[in-house]
Chains A and B, each alone.
Chain A
């Protein structure tokens, strides 16, 4: 084989390799572009149902109303639960729509966009009260949910509620209830109150 033939053969192999690499590179760039262009989190975000305090929000599987808000420095159940911030306690009336369901997700979103999950330090919020209770259609329940917040987060809070589906909140209703503004003085008063409070048990609403 002459040098020219070898050179041509090498050239063809080289062109083939270049073509493969270019193809892979194109695929890579396409994936990169798709990754940058697609915001999966935004695409799959929950469907917000926004209301104010005292108004009824109609989600896909439940109906809910935030009835009132109070605060405390210490919550007592089987133990005293203190906090370096303040406890924000929201009284909620909720009812299932169509079939039995559980509100498993509750959080407060503050003015800075931070998300505070309902505390799982309390006995009742682990099992037996509103967040873990099975809600029945036609039987509204009333109960309280407690959140542990920095004092500055309590002043302007939005309550988020969504059905429990293995912590998957994608593409289902999420109720967003803008709670009434609370003055810093009131928050400070709650945070310095040394008397422990207890959460009301879940009861059937009147």
Chain B
């Protein structure tokens, strides 16, 4: 019986590990290679293994050196130590203020009022901050409007204020980090949003003590 003979040969071959499939030899190495290759291809649409965070190191800038970028261009122009006095109002009476002065121009195509994301200070102790070490006060120097919309193409002088505990050491200088954002499609809402607040530059700012002035 030729049919039975073929079946018998196949059974023998399988038993002996000699089937056509077996001869192809799915070795562990091949499987691993295939899985890794397919996995690598599968993540390409999402940027591969690269991190979302910018890999750029913030540059060191001097005072009055502009930092170009989106959505704002910022030039840090000075630092002051001030008493708690109008129009400044500390949450703890008697605390003092570290105020960073900067010229800010919106380079995005739309007005923005999220300038509290733009600067952070380090090198001073006892700061009383809101969320995420943000300044508790951002105001226009010209009329002391708090947190106003800044308009594209109009450079404005801003004061960024951090309240400092009266018992903390008096700083003579601080490091100011300038942050920027990226306009990209949000993975949550799928709409274009300014996201990924990331450091762009660091400025060492001498603090001029104007308390009692």
Contact = CB atoms under 8 A, between A and B. Distances in A.
Given A11-B31, A14-B26, A17-B31, A150 B151 contact: yes
A111 interface: no
A164 to B, nearest CB: 15
B132 interface: no
B35 to A, nearest CB: 5
Given A4-B16, A81-B143, A83-B154, A14 B149 contact: no
Interface stretch (A20-28, A54-62, A135-143): A20-28
Interface string B133-154: 0000000101111001101111
Given A4-B17, A38-B190, A84 B111 contact: no
Nearest to B150: A148
Interface in B1-23: 16-19, 21-22
A158 to B, nearest CB: 14
Given A115-B109, A150-B153, A14 B31 contact: yes
Interface in B42-71: 42-43, 45-46
B17 A3 contact: yes
A20 B109 CA distance: 44
A117 B149 contact: yes
Interface in A28-58: 28-29, 31-32, 35, 38, 40-41, 44
B213 interface: no
B191 interface: yes
Given A7-B27, A10-B26, A21-B35, A120 B149 contact: yes
B211 interface: no
B148 A84 contact: no
A119 interface: yes
Nearest to A17: B35
Contacts of A38: 190
Q: How large is the interface on B (under 10, 10 to 19, 20 to 34, 35 or more residues)?
A: 35 or more
A166 to B, nearest CB: 15
A35 B143 contact: no
B110 interface: yes
Interface residues of A, number: 48
Given A8-B21, A11-B26, A18 B35 contact: yes
A8 B31 CA distance: 11
B39 A4 contact: no
Given A18-B38, A116-B111, A148-B151, A41 B30 contact: no
A125 B116 CA distance: 22
Contact of A116 (B43, B151, B189, B190): B151
B25 to A, nearest CB: 6
B157 to A, nearest CB: 9
B46 A21 contact: no
Nearest to B42: A25
A40 B35 contact: no
Nearest to B155: A84
Interface string B173-210: 00000000000010001111000000000000000000
A29 B43 CA distance: 9
25 contacts: A3-B17, A4-B17, A4-B19, A4-B22, A7-B27, A11-B26, A13-B31, A14-B26, A18-B31, A18-B34, A21-B35, A28-B43, A28-B45, A32-B46, A35-B190, A41-B191, A41-B192, A80-B143, A84-B154, A85-B153, A114-B109, A117-B111, A120-B113, A120-B148, A150-B151
Interface of A: 2-5, 7-8, 10-11, 13-15, 17-18, 21-22, 24-25, 28-29, 31-32, 35, 38, 40-41, 44, 79-85, 107, 112-117, 119-121, 148-150, 152-153
Given A18-B31, A18-B38, A150-B152, 11 more contacts: A7-B22, A8-B22, A8-B26, A11-B26, A21-B39, A25-B38, A25-B41, A79-B144, A84-B156, A85-B153, A150-B154
